[in-house]
């Protein structure tokens, strides 16, 4: 197989906020960068983020990064690495100002400063009164940020490979990643991109679940590529269910709706969050609110003929606030439910939303894995940032508004470290043909013709299995069945055949490659969840209802090769401040 | 429900044709994107772009019963049968409903769609009054789906020279931004017979925009500004 080769200093996989923030940093420093994305950059899922980005600007209420750090550590149920959290929270204000300078149309306060709204899990003075920390462009903050970053990359003349799908990494026997095999979706032609450094910024894997806020493209491609290259995935059992997805459909209704004063009610009209989080009520952490909704429904207090959801009330806010601050979700409600939240409550239910876990990295964005005597040895030249990575700043549960911050902070951090790496490592390490052939095998497998199951039927079963066995509440039995179910589904994939063998814009082939990715990640998620015998953050077990710091304050690491789990300690020591020791988590 | 869908795969087809599809079960509230996914389950060679499913990513623009729109926010119950689905008009077709958008993106790039400032940056944000910020509403929300430009006769006629409504909307988005400092160069670039003034206020753009934006109005603002600027 003779595949054309192109060479760059840096290959970035993914053109969401993380990839584009890194690309901008690199392009400005005159590094030669290729950004590969399976969709045109502004179609990346960052575009769907609504509520905002957290930074202690103190434009509305007193605030500082240290309080933000405390909230993030607590929100993550003490599984987050405190050095990385300190780094992120300290960098936040500067990065938001930079975005504003780059053109993001943030909403404004009367003072002319950036508008900020309260979000869940935010406090002043280490657990005191509600903070107001989330910087917003109405309820379209992700759109505003992604478009601005793309625009600045046009200005910086970044090389884009739009609608190219990354098939697999090209790596040597030691696991050093030398490039990637990619496919031009429009023509089906293959291209090898060699690079001295590679940044994985491929986003999340919400397509693991049947009902999800995530786009069709969120299939965890980079995570699965890493798994297959022998890199473990970290903390995959922690999957966030957003409390307010549109019931039965999954569209996201931003936490900003509650930040602006909305609240949840059950069928009796009771504001039930007062029972679960007496202090902050509807602005508790997402895991807490999602569990509360699930309990209300399970105990027969759900709304609707089937009692299968609760209501989000905004109709007391008045049309001005809804029109000004929440125009996007108002459109969504009108389009998909024919209701106007100005006068009618919105039916909502917890919906798969965000992977806290991912490719293990340090706070410089460097991919790390256990090796010999260190639990965290870097893989030279390989980086990851954003939802596909696990730094870990979100621990066991991410705070709303911290995901946009994560992509900005660690996109930039990775780019800065890459610049240092490029100075020291001036030459490519060309892969030999054998390594390229290995990546090609994965592509060629789908050229087998004949009768077989369809990609779609396997993908649908996978999503249902994950929803049934790895949801908001978990038990040993349900998860053991889940492991078997996922194993059985994976065993069907070799017999799947593509009926569409065309080279031209073959989306069926893309979906087949995505299915393999999802199946590998499902295994990582199910296995990690089954093993963790405690409740922490988003991982909530009926049979182990308490957090168990003595045995489980550690990160999971799942390896695909031998289907095994390993663990490493949480980095509890921050960069410069005192450790926040684990406490009982009350909101 | 009956559909007639444009099919063309240059690998196997000599010329494009319309293929009949039937969807047996139309769920209440079903959007066209979901219907197309069901039809693709019947025949996986049916090819179209789609992603977020909620009208935010801008991937699934197509021509639906003669009007450009986004499949994911078009309820099938509003459509007359047989529903005729074609790719965007006036742009090269790659396959089935997938068109080559590179010309559209090139025109978007041509208007310098980014904030330009010459002053040194402050340590904090640039200030902007809520009133000045309000001027960006109806402009920044564009999702680059291409519905407007591929419905514009002036763009069909001169896709290589006329920026088209989407690009001009973004041009005004930056001209209208109190923080931008590049008015002169932006206006200079839009002068000439094939640029701003190739818009003949046909208003197809505003009619089809799935986000309810109005490029014609934005173009009118640029024309007024240019006039004021040149006297």
pLDDT in tens, A296-350: 999 999 999 999 999 999 999 999 999 999 999 999 999 999 999 999 999 999 9
Check A286, A291, A509, A571 and give the catalytic one.
Answer: A286
Structure tokens at B26: 């139309």
Q: Is pLDDT of A375 > 90?
A: no
Region B114-119 average pLDDT: 97
Closest Cβ–Cβ partner in A43, A105, A336 for B59: A43
Q: Is pLDDT of A429 > 90?
A: no
* Shortest distance, CA B138 to any CA of chain A (angstroms): 11
User: For A436-446, how does the pLDDT look when each residue is reduced to its tens digit (9 = 90+)?
Assistant: 999 999 999 99
Residue A173's pLDDT band (boundaries 50, 70, 90)? Answer: confident
Q: Which residue of B has its CA nearest to A108?
A: B130
Interface test with B, best of A49, A101, A328 (most B CBs within 10 A): A101
User: For A457-478, how does the pLDDT look when each residue is reduced to its tens digit (9 = 90+)?
Assistant: 999 999 999 999 999 999 999 9
pLDDT-above-90 percentage for chain B: 98
Say whether A106 and B114 touch across the interface (CB within 8 A). Answer: no
What is the Cα–Cα distance from A241 to A407, expressed in whole angstroms? 20
With a threshold of 0.95, tell me whether the complex ipTM lies above it.
yes
pLDDT at residue A560, as a whole number: 96
* Shortest distance, CA B139 to any CA of chain A (angstroms): 10
Reference B150, options B112, B101, B190; nearest CA is: B101
pLDDT at residue A221, as a whole number: 98
Q: Is pLDDT of A432 > 90?
A: no
Closest Cβ–Cβ partner in B44, B54, B177 for A508: B44
pLDDT-above-70 percentage for chain A: 100
pLDDT at residue A517, as a whole number: 98
pLDDT at residue A174, as a whole number: 83
Reference B49, options A38, A149, A518, A14; nearest CA is: A38
Say whether A102 and B115 touch across the interface (CB within 8 A). Answer: yes
Q: Is pLDDT of A570 > 80?
A: yes
What is the Cα–Cα distance from A285 to A257, expressed in whole angstroms? 14
The pTM score is 0.97
- The phi and psi torsions of A436 (rounded to 5 degrees) equal -65, -40
Q: Is pLDDT of A131 > 80?
A: yes
Q: Is pLDDT of A372 > 90?
A: no
pLDDT-above-70 percentage for chain B: 100
Q: Is pLDDT of A1 > 80?
A: no
Reference A404, options A395, A414, A393; nearest CA is: A393
Task: Using the CB atoms, write b or e for B130-141: b if 16+ within 10 Å.
Answer: eeebebbebbbb
Interface test with B, best of A163, A242, A505, A513 (most B CBs within 10 A): A505
Residues 6 or more apart whose CB falls under 8 angstroms from that of A558 comprise A227, A232, A233, A234, A236, A523, A524, A527, A528, A564, A565
User: For A95-112, how does the pLDDT look when each residue is reduced to its tens digit (9 = 90+)?
Assistant: 999 999 999 999 999 999
Q: Contacts of residue B57 in chain A, CB cutoff 8 Å? A: 39, 42-45, 47-48, 215
Average pLDDT, chain A: 97
Residue contacts between A and B (CB atoms, under 8 Å)? 151
Q: CA torsion angle for A205, A209, A213, A215 (degrees, to 10)?
A: 50
Asked about A429 being catalytic, the answer comes back as no
User: For B132-187, how does the pLDDT look when each residue is reduced to its tens digit (9 = 90+)?
Assistant: 999 999 999 999 999 999 999 999 999 999 999 999 999 999 999 999 999 999 99
Average pLDDT, chain B: 97
Closest Cβ–Cβ partner in B11, B45, B113 for A151: B113
Q: Which residue of A has its CA nearest to B51?
A: A216
Residue with tokens 């917003």: A136
- The phi and psi torsions of A456 (rounded to 5 degrees) equal -55, -45
Residue B120's pLDDT band (boundaries 50, 70, 90)? Answer: very high
**What is the SS3 assignment for A48-93?**
HCCCCEECCCCCCCCCCHHHHHHHHHHHCCCCCCHHHHHHHHHHHH
DSSP alpha helix (H) spans, chain B? 32-42, 102-110, 130-134, 153-157, 164-175, 183-190, 204-208, 215-230
pLDDT at residue B202, as a whole number: 96
Region A395-406 average pLDDT: 98
What is the Cα–Cα distance from A47 to B56, expressed in whole angstroms? 7
Say whether B29 and A336 touch across the interface (CB within 8 A). Answer: yes
């Amino acid at each position: 197989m003779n595949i054309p080769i192109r060479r760059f200093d840096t290959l970035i996989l993914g053109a969401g906020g993380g990839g584009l923030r890194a690309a901008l940093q690199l392009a400005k420093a005159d590094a030669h960068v290729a950004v590969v994305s399976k969709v045109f950059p502004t179609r990346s899922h960052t575009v769907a983020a609504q509520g905002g980005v957290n930074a202690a600007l103190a434009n509305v209420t007193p605030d500082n990064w240290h309080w933000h750090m405390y909230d993030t550590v607590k929100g993550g149920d003490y599984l987050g690495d405190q050095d990385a959290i300190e780094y992120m929270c300290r960098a936040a204000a500067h990065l938001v100002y930079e975005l504003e300078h780059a053109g993001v149309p943030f909403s404004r306060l009367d003072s002319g400063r950036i508008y900020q709204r309260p979000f869940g899990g935010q406090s002043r003075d280490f657990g005191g009164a509600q903070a107001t920390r989330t910087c917003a462009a109405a309820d379209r903050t992700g759109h505003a940020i992604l478009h601005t970053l793309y625009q600045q990359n046009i200005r910086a003349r970044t090389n884009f490979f739009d609608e190219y799908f990354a098939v697999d990494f090209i790596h040597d026997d030691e696991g050093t990643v030398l490039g990637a095999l990619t496919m031009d979706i429009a023509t089906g032609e293959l291209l090898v991109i060699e690079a001295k450094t590679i940044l994985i910024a491929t986003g999340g894997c919400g397509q693991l679940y049947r009902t999800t806020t995530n786009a069709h493209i969120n299939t965890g491609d980079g995570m699965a590529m890493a798994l297959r290259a022998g890199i473990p995935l970290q903390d995959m059992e922690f999957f966030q269910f957003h409390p307010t997805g549109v019931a039965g459909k999954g569209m996201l209704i931003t936490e900003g709706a509650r930040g602006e004063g909305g609240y949840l009610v059950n069928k009796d009209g009771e504001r039930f969050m007062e029972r679960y989080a007496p202090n902050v009520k509807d602005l508790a952490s997402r895991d807490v609110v999602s569990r509360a909704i699930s309990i209300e429904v399970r105990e027969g207090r759900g709304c609707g003929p089937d009692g299968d959801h609760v209501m989000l009330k905004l109709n007391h806010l008045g049309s001005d606030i809804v029109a000004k601050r929440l125009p996007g979700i108002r459109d969504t409600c009108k389009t998909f439910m024919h209701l106007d939240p100005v006068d009618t409550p919105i039916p909502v239910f917890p919906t798969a939303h965000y992977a806290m876990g991912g490719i293990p990295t340090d706070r410089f964005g460097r991919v790390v894995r256990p090796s010999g005597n260190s639990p965290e040895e870097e893989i030279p030249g390989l980086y990851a940032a954003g939802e596909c990575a696990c730094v870990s700043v979100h621990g066991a549960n991410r705070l709303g508004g911290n995901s946009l911050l994560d992509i900005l902070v660690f996109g930039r951090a990775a780019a800065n470290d890459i610049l240092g790496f490029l100075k020291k490592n001036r030459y490519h390490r060309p892969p030999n043909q054998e390594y390229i052939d290995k990546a090609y095998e994965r592509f060629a497998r789908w050229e087998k013709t004949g009768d077989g199951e369809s990609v779609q039927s396997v993908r649908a079963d996978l999503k249902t299995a994950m929803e049934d066995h790895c949801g908001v509440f978990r038990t040993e039995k349900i998860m053991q069945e889940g492991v078997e179910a996922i194993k059985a589904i994976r065993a069907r994939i070799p017999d799947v055949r593509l009926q569409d063998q065309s080279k031209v814009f073959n989306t069926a082939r893309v979906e087949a490659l995505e299915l393999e990715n999802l199946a590998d990640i499902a295994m990582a998620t199910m296995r990690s969840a089954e093993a963790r015998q405690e409740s922490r953050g988003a991982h909530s077990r009926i049979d182990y209802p308490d957090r168990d710091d003595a045995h489980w304050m550690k990160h999971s690491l799942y390896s695909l090769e031998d289907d095994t789990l390993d663990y490493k300690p949480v980095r509890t020591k921050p960069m410069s401040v005192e450790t926040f020791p684990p406490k009982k988590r009350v909101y | 429900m009956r559909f007639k869908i444009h099919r063309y795969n240059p690998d196997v087809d000599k010329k494009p044709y319309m293929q009949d599809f039937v969807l047996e079960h139309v769920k209440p509230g079903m959007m066209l994107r979901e219907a197309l996914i069901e039809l693709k389950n019947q025949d996986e060679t049916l090819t179209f772009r789609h992603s977020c499913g909620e009208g935010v990513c801008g991937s699934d623009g197509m021509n639906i019963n003669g009007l450009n729109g986004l499949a994911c926010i078009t309820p099938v119950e509003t459509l007359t049968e047989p529903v005729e689905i074609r790719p965007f008009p006036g742009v090269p077709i790659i396959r089935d409903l997938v068109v080559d958008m590179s010309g559209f993106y090139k025109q978007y790039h041509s208007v310098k769609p980014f904030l330009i400032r010459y002053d040194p940056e402050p340590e904090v944000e640039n200030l902007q009054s809520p009133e000045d910020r309000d001027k960006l509403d109806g402009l920044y929300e564009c999702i680059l789906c291409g519905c407007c430009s591929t419905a514009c006769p002036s763009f069909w006629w001169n896709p290589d020279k006329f920026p088209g409504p989407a690009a001009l909307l973004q041009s005004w988005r930056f001209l209208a931004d109190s923080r931008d400092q590049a008015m002169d160069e932006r206006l200079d670039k839009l002068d000439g017979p094939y640029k701003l003034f190739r818009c003949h206020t046909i208003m197809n753009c505003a009619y089809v925009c799935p986000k309810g934006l109005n490029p014609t109005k934005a173009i009118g603002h640029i024309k007024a500004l240019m006039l004021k600027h040149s006297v």
